[in-house]
Amino acid sequence: MTLEITEVTSQLDSVFNNILTNEMAGLPLLNPKIDVEILEFQEFEGRIIGIVISPWLMSLIMLPASQLGDDWSTYEIGQQRVHEFPSGDYKFLVNEFDGIGICQAHAIHSPMSSFFTHDQAKITAIKFMKKLMTVVDEDDRLDEKRLERFINGENMDDIKKSEQPQDDTAETTPEKIASPAAEIDRRNFLRGRLNDKKQA
C-alpha cells in the first residue's frame, strides 16, 4: 500500500501542476503565495485519502478501492456522497481528473485568498486531517448536528422534539365522550361560573 500511496501522490502532484500551468494560469482567484502540494495521504478503511493544496483550493481527496468493489463510474460528476469518519460525516462531490480518473473530493477551502503563506495553508491541512481522524464525543457530535440544522432554518424546540424516541408500543385509550352535563359544567368553568347549577 505504501508504494501505491507514493504513486498516487506523484500522479496528483503532476495532475494539479498541469492544471495550474495549462488551465488556471492568469486567473484572478489564484493565490500566488500558495504552491501545489500533496500531503497527509494514507489508507482509511481500504481507500486512499489525503489532502491536495493548490493556489485555488484545498480539498480532501478519496480514491476508489478495487478490493472494496468500488465502481464509481456509475456516479454522475458533481453527485454528492456522504462518508463517515471518526469525527463525523463529511460530504464529498464526485469528480474526475485526467491521469487520476474518478475520485471524490471534500472542499476544505476555496478560494485560498485567506492564506498569507504556503506554510499557513499546510498547517491548516495537517490540523484538518488530525481533526478528521479524531473520535468526537457523541454529545459534541449531537450539538454539531443540532447547530447545522438550526443554521439551515429549523427551530431548536422542533429539533429537540425530533430527537425524542417514538414509543410505537404505547396503547392508545379511546377518548371519553363527555356527557351533556359535563359539557355544561365545562362551559360554566371556562366562563368563570363555578356556582351555576342546572335548573330543574
- Mean pLDDT of all residues in the chain? 84
> Would the pLDDT of 194 be above 90?
no
pLDDT tens sequence across 76-127: 999 999 999 999 999 999 999 988 999 999 999 999 999 999 999 999 999 9
pLDDT tens sequence across 167-180: 555 444 444 444 55
The mean pLDDT of 62-81, rounded to a whole number, is 94
Q: Which one-letter DSSP state was computed for residue 29?
A: T
The mean pLDDT of 21-35, rounded to a whole number, is 94
Higher pLDDT, 189 or 41: 41
- Full-prediction pTM beyond 0.85? no
The mean pLDDT of 162-167, rounded to a whole number, is 73
List, in sequence order, the alpha helices (H) in 80-179: 118-132, 138-151, 156-162
Instruction: Please report the pLDDT score of residue 173 as a whole number.
Output: 44
Higher pLDDT, 182 or 164: 164
Q: Which CATH number does the domain 2-139 belong to among 3.20.20.70, 3.40.50.300, 3.30.1460.40, 3.90.76.10?
A: 3.30.1460.40
Q: How far apart are CA 160 and CA 46, in angstroms?
A: 36
CA distances from 75 to 67, 95, 115, 119, 172 (A): 18, 9, 33, 35, 46
> Would the pLDDT of 199 be above 60?
no
Higher pLDDT, 155 or 76: 76
What band does 1 get if pLDDT is binned at 50, 70 and 90? low
